[in-house]
Amino acid sequence: MKLTSKGRYAVMALVDLARFDTINPVSLRDISLRQGISLDYLEQIFSKLKKNQIVKSTRGIQGGYILSKKPNEIKLNNILNAVDEKVKTVQCKKESKKGCNGKATKCVTHNLWDELETHINTFFEKKSLQDLLKNNSERVN
């Protein structure tokens, strides 16, 4: 299972977007400066976010990105999946028809990781961008 910087950056960038895209599209350059994330890396991330219809882009001067849905409709789950940060635990090698590791039965931890995945996914399905926005504005900067 993995949850790394890419996922964190994606979330940070989208929260930034949600705060600033109300009038004009927001350029990655601005996000890069505000959030301290490499522009080149942001481009990779936004390419994936776009493919997954989380953001829309406008080219040219004054171009940039906007959210394609309302903040409360974008769940963290969607974001993390989009950037390939699927919550997936180590799979048992070659789960053949019946069991794991070539055994006849599933290994004892098999169901455990399944449960964990569900547990974590539930967490992320409940959280939306909107939730993070609230959280952020409550804090007095």
Closest CB to DNA among residues 60, 97? 60
CB 51 within 8 A of CB 82: yes
| Helix pair angle (5-20, 39-51), 10° resolution | 80
Cα 57–Cα 41–Cα 125 angle in degrees, nearest 5: 70
Which region among 19-27, 98-106, 110-118, 119-127 touches DNA (by CB under 7 A)? 19-27
Closest CB to DNA among residues 74, 87? 87
Neighbours of 27 (CB within 10 A): 17
Alpha carbons 130 and 128: distance in angstroms, whole number: 5
40 binds DNA (CB under 7 A): yes
Q: Which residues bind its own copies (CB under 8 A)?
A: 1-5, 8, 11-12, 15, 35-36, 76, 89-90, 101-109, 111-113, 115-116, 119-120, 123, 127, 132, 135-136, 139, 141
User: Among residue numbers 101 through 140, which ones bind DNA (CB under 7 A)?
Assistant: none
